[in-house]
Structure 1
């Protein structure tokens, strides 16, 4: 059944107005008509079965019928990635949503060299990935900020998995040791630019008390590959894959 992310509140009988693009997708691509059913979610009220109540000249109106799943959230995992080329950032956001990240934070480092970022495009990619994967929320995508500013305002109690291309403990071994007794901690994963972190940035990251420096193996990975590999390793060692 089609799943659609909506912004309106969901409750029995609630009327929901999808965006114009979503309405066109339902009626022109999927050929749905009045009375046909789909699943909707908004990241707050769980997943609901809804039906197309009206087909208008511009858009459709949905009617929420019954909740199919209560609202749940995955692990509190952020993916922090240095801004790279547009196509690779889009891949990273898509895969972050598929792999369970709750938030994607974009950072600017000393070696950042990238295209202009369109947050509206990234939001749409995250929404589509959430629809397809069955998750009940959509990851938040943040405006790029400088790495130093991000570290200066670091959230207390959050651990950082620093993917260190200059060498760190093997990821699974380091993560397994880091979570002993702290399985429910908040975590972030940091992926650097394709030119790597500067020596000063690497030195600061390794000195932070909340950082676990890990290696992603003997090969140099592009940013999108590194993000996928790091999230997979984190999910296997710390995340919700065994739940």
Structure 2
């Protein structure tokens, strides 16, 4: 996106975007623009929907209940959705929000909560996860909002993996793996579809680690000599994957 547009408010909408189109925002987004940001008629905002790229729009009506916008021009083409699957064991609220936000920033395409033996948080609200991902995309100029897949147990995930994910390799951060650089193992996966699994605080149980390590589609990696918090491990692992075999190359 051009720098001149980077300071403008960015909002995700679910409607089609095309030059000359007019649209009315819902109450929450209207209140945000008109009351919180104090935007009025003639001011510009950027809209995106995950399909049509980013569009520069002008306010033509600034009611706090229903802001009306006219779509002017496309300022960024739509990016291809990421194919990186990211599975995580749910954490408590503040750190859960952080994990979702960082997954969006780091380029995850599919985000799925995975419950394990040591998972402390259950029954997540999918709509809250989706809203968090959407907000992160708005803030970070991401045009493809990741899919939030339904919460699933680790046993079910592993049993269904070949049917659901085909030849995708499942990389998991194994705190029991001897400390080493994961770069060599990951470089062997260039061109492959990748999934990343991060366990809960306390890690995977011994039985879970044993099962994971027996599966032919699983690759255990070390994240170095220090024990990382689950949210830190997620960011570190995604950075390594993106830099080694992902879209940072």
TM-score, normalization by structure 2: 0.89
**What is aligned with 2:5?**
none
Q: Shift of the alpha carbon at 1:77?
A: 0.6
Residue of structure 2 aligned with 1:110, choices 106, 117, 128: 117
**What is aligned with 2:105?**
98
**What is aligned with 2:243?**
236
**What is aligned with 1:39?**
46
Residue of structure 1 aligned with 2:196, choices 178, 189, 196: 189
Q: Can you give the 5+ residue segments of structure 2 that lack an aligned partner in the other structure? A: 1-7
* Kept after mapping to 2: 8 A contact 1:83/1:144: no
**What is aligned with 2:176?**
166
TM-score, normalization by structure 1: 0.91
| CA distance in structure 2 between the aligned counterparts of 1:207 and 1:80, rounded to whole angstroms | 19
Residue of structure 2 aligned with 1:8, choices 12, 15, 24: 15
Count matched residues: 238
Residue of structure 2 aligned with 1:20, choices 21, 27, 46: 27
* Kept after mapping to 1: 8 A contact 2:34/2:63: no
| CA distance in structure 2 between the aligned counterparts of 1:204 and 1:61, rounded to whole angstroms | 55
* Kept after mapping to 2: 8 A contact 1:107/1:145: yes
2:188 aligned counterpart, secondary structure: helix
Most deviating of 92-101 and 10-19 = 10-19
Q: CA RMSD in A?
A: 1.6
Task: Confirm whether residue 156 of structure 1 aligns to residue 166 of structure 2.
Answer: yes
* CA distance 1:57–1:26, shift in 2 (3 Å): closer
Residue of structure 2 aligned with 1:143, choices 145, 150, 156: 150
